[in-house]
Amino acid sequence: MPSSTVAPRPLSHTSVADPEFSERYRAMQARDARFDGQFITGVHSTGIYCRPSCPAVAPKPTNVTFYLTAAAAHEAGLRACKRCLPDAVPGSPEWNLRDDLAARAMRLIADGVVERDGVPGLAARLGYTPRHLTRVLTAELGAGPLALARAHRAQTARALLTSTSLPVADVAFASGFGSIRQFNDTIREVYERSPLEVRAAARVHERAAGGGDRPASSGSVDLTRPGPNGIVVVAGAEPAAGADPGAGVVRLRLPARPPFDAAGVFGWLAARTVTGVEASTLTADGAPRFRRTLRLPGGPALVAFAPGGDAGSPSIEIEARLTGLADLPPLVARVRRLFDLDADALAIDGALAAEPAFAASVAAVPGIRVPGCLDPHELVFRALIGQQISVAAARTALGRLATELGERVAGDEALGLLFPDAAAIAEHGADVLRGPAARIRTIVDVAARLASGDLVVSSDRERHDLEARLLEIPGIGPWTAGYVAMRVTGAPDVLLTGDLALRNGAANLGLPREPRELAAYGARWAPWRSYASMHLWRSA
């Protein structure tokens, strides 16, 4: 079973006696796909790095170094394997499980902060100097923030090159590169090929696999045949009025780590749809489909999600109309968090199934996920408005708020509103919100703090620090603080014992119902108490 923790250093042949090196080497020898994305195998005799399940002959231990990131392998002078495509797997669950500086930095890098704000901006978001951040990341992950961001851009670029017919210049800027020259130099260094050669090699691979040539225009791509990276982009669609000329409809397939309870996440989202902002429907074959408007760094977007793949290779299919292609990387990062795609489901299910009360639930719903969020500020208001009222009542209140204060955008017959931002709620929320005056004061106060930057709620926050800051605000209690931390940061070990439905679920399973007793009993479920919470809610 995959390990739940990873040592914060490269493990090389000098660490042969290290049990962690031995465990990874055995996984590599067995070509165990469960470890794909959790670490990278660097093979110095060939100068490449691979996923653990690479079908190539296993190298000798003396030629192997295990890395946490592709950037560390790049810094060691290695290039990506052309056979196993190590970039085309779910991401490491470490960046959700860990809550240290390195993990928080990785979440921000995936969201494109370095491309938008540079390393100084990344360091400022994390509360450190650029020098200290670089020193910590190099020691922990084997590469500094610039190298980590460059590796992320290179992986995105290779994905677009091999899966789409987008012009190379569009691929460069959609991947976050600042210039064509920088793009060309990076691709050559990482993959030992020019961008056009990377694309040509993918075409040859497709023909050899019997797939035939991709049409000259990727305006109609069959999503049942995604590229090897799992990402498909549809270019050529007309952008929205006033949008970037590079905008258009983007289709992606993001792989999930199996098993994956997609139905559970879609059901959670469907039960909480906000009219005008979100819509939940079923496709012709009965599969769930969820659509919504969303703010991205470059402007508004209209996105749709549906489950894809099969039980052995699950995925989420996305269709998005973006203001500009530069919004593609942050969209991918946020969707991965929303659907908890990188969770180590086998380790979580194995740990929770050892609890007799959970055994039947785990067997019935393998791969349960903790839904994240696409917009942390929106999640805060959902939590504040939804506390101590029913889900239906919260939907009504949130729908009224969106109708009155939400920005109107070009959408379709069901979607035409962006959820109101903090500044709008701070200014006009008291005129729109209904309910106890104390609750309204809290919501408006939080909105003002978010709008001014006095309160920062984002995926890079340290969970306990975020909870502490929220609890300092009058009107916010442990349930709200814990719920926001769990869904915004992806914290895997939150047990919301103050939640009435969760306690009812515990009672249904024969577990303690009182908060203090349930908290004490639930300590045995660490570090997966957030996932235990999902099983308890389900049992309610």
Mean pLDDT by 10 residues, the chain (540 residues): 45 66 89 83 93 90 91 90 78 77 91 93 95 94 92 86 79 89 91 88 68 38 33 40 52 88 96 96 92 94 94 90 88 94 93 96 97 97 92 95 94 88 97 94 98 95 94 96 95 94 96 97 96 95
Question: What letter does residue 217 receive in the DSSP assignment?
Answer: S
State the pLDDT at residue 216. 33
- Taking Cα atoms as reference points, which of 324, 303, 331 lies closest to residue 415? 303
Catalytic annotation, residues:
50, 499
140 vs 122: CA distance, rounded Å: 17
Type and span of the H or E element at 480: helix 478-489
Backbone angles phi, psi at 305, to 5 degrees: -125, 145
pLDDT for res 163: 65
Taken as a whole, the chain contains a residue count of 540
Global confidence as pTM: 0.82
Tell me what pLDDT residue 404 has. Answer: 97
Answer yes or no: are the C-beta atoms of 335 and 254 closer than 8 Å: yes
Helices marked H in 318-407: 328-338, 345-353, 356-364, 376-386, 391-405
Q: Which pLDDT belongs to residue 94?
A: 76
CA distances from 62 to 59, 69, 430 (A): 8, 20, 67
Beta strand 48-50 pairing with 79-80: parallel
User: What's residue 526's pLDDT?
Assistant: 94
The token pair at 13 is 């042949």
Q: Determine the pLDDT at residue 304.
A: 95
Q: Give residue 536's pLDDT.
A: 97
